[in-house]
């Protein structure tokens, strides 16, 4: 595993480590939360399976493990001597922000035994002073919301290794069966002439070339596709920047058999050709129901 990008996430309790590791997991990293530092060398020695594909490895380590502050220095030094290259990402926040976050979540601080919250925070900062000093990157999350922190972590992932591409699903459906609950963008294409009313096309569906030609050769459909694909060209990078791992584009017509299917096929094909590094899937939810 020496060739993998390795990120150690640490810092103060309540500073956003859970958000950070979730962002790295979405970026394609293999992640372990609350990793005992003594087990790290053993895990890195494990043989890699040929089909094990990941953008990197990420581990959250902090004072939830009571031996971590004293145990990490020799272990980290030994790993570096063996040739492991890893970065330490340290998250912090102002005391009043940490106190407010704990008040909102009603969680207990890991060092709270017989101590009030301010004293627990102060003790944690003292225990992690040396680690903060040797960290490769320090992020103050005091003024960050969840989305902003996730975006920061995604940018770090881009610089550290290969960022997992957004997963885009183009989903056709029929409005008569309800709008898909997992849809991020819903487009109604019922303004396109309906092949359902053409006797020779009615028994076919939008995957057939005859129905595709009827739907896609329509002048209104061609103009719509041009404008909608331009919109997606603008939106997809913004969704990626925001840290979105999955994007579902729902294309709906009346029954989900003809127009929405043909247009979903066209959109999915265009995205696959323009973005070969992204995961593009096409599904037809209601194609067999009408």
Predicted TM-score (pTM) of the model is: 0.61
User: How much of the chain exceeds pLDDT 70, in percent?
Assistant: 94
Burial class (CB in 10 A: 0-12, 13-18, 19+), 137: middle
pLDDT in tens, 148-170: 898 888 877 776 655 456 789 99
Judge contact between 124 and 13, C-beta under 8 A.
yes
Q: Which of 5-14, 184-193, 241-250 comes out lowest in average pLDDT?
A: 241-250
Higher pLDDT, 281 or 245: 281
Please report, for the chain, the start and end positions of each structural domain, with discontinuous segments joined by +.
Answer: 6-160, 167-284
Report the chain's terminal Cα–Cα distance, integer Å.
Answer: 52
Write out pLDDT tens, residues 14-52. 999 999 999 999 888 899 999 999 999 999 988 777 666
Specify the CATH architecture of the domain 6-160: 3-Layer(aba) Sandwich (3.40)
- Contact assessment for residue 59 and residue 10, using Cβ atoms and an 8 Å cutoff: no
What is the structure's pLDDT at 243? 66
With beta carbons less than 8 A apart as the criterion, state whether 99 and 121 touch: yes
For all residues of the chain together, what is the average pLDDT? 90
> Around 135, how many Cα atoms within 13 Å sit in the side-chain half-sphere?
20
* Sign of the CA dihedral with 271 first, then 274, 276, and 277 last: negative
Separation between Cα atoms, residue 230 and residue 247, nearest integer Å: 16
Q: Packing angle between helix 209-216 and helix 219-242, nearest 10 degrees?
A: 90
Q: Is 82 left (phi over 0), alpha (psi -120 to 50) or beta?
A: alpha
Q: Is the dihedral of CA 12, 246, 273, 228 positive or negative?
A: negative
Among positive and negative, which fits the CA dihedral 12, 13, 19, 24? positive
Residue (of 203, 183, 253) closest to 224 by Cα position? 253
Give the separation between CA 18 and CA 279, rounded to whole angstroms: 26
Q: What is the CA radius of gyration of the chain?
A: 25
Please report the pLDDT score of residue 148 as a whole number: 87
DSSP E strands, 101-245: 137-140, 167-174, 185-188
Phi, psi of 187 (to 5 degrees): -120, 125
Residue among 201, 216, 198, 206 at smallest CA distance from 173: 206
CA dist., res. 125 & res. 95, Å (int): 10
Q: Are 14 and 51 in contact (CB under 8 A)?
A: no
206: pLDDT confidence band, cut at 50, 70 and 90?
very high
Helix axes 209-216, 259-274, angle to 10 degrees: 90
Question: How much is the pLDDT for 170?
Answer: 96
pLDDT in tens, 51-83: 667 888 999 999 999 999 999 999 999 999 998
């Amino acid at each position: 595993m020496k060739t993998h990008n390795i990120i150690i996430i640490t810092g103060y309790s309540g500073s956003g480590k859970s958000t950070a590791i979730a962002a790295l997991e979405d970026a394609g990293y293999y992640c372990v939360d609350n990793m005992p530092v003594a087990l790290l060398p053993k895990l890195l020695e494990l043989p890699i399976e040929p089909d094990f594909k990941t953008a990197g490895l990420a581990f959250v380590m902090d004072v939830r493990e009571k031996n971590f502050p004293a145990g990490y220095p020799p272990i980290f030094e030994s790993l570096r001597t063996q040739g492991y290259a890893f970065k330490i990402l340290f998250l912090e926040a102002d005391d009043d922000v940490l106190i407010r976050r704990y008040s909102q979540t009603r969680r207990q601080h890991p060092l709270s035994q017989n101590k009030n919250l301010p004293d627990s925070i102060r003790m944690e900062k003292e225990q992690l002073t040396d680690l903060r000093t040797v960290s490769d990157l320090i992020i103050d999350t005091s003024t960050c919301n969840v989305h902003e922190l996730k975006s920061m972590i995604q940018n770090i992932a881009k610089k550290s290794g290969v960022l997992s591409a957004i997963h885009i699903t183009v989903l056709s459906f029929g409005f008569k069966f309800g709008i898909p609950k997992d849809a991020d963008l819903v487009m109604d294409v019922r303004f396109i002439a309906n092949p359902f009313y053409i006797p020779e096309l009615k028994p076919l569906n939008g995957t057939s070339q005859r129905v595709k030609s009827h739907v896609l050769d329509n002048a209104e459909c061609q103009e719509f596709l041009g404008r909608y694909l331009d919109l997606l060209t603008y939106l997809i990078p913004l969704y990626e920047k925001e840290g979105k791992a999955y994007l579902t584009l729902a294309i709906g017509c009346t029954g989900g058999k003809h127009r929405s299917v043909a247009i979903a096929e066209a959109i999915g094909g265009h995205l696959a050709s323009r973005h070969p590094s992204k995961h593009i899937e096409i599904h037809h939810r209601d194609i067999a129901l009408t």
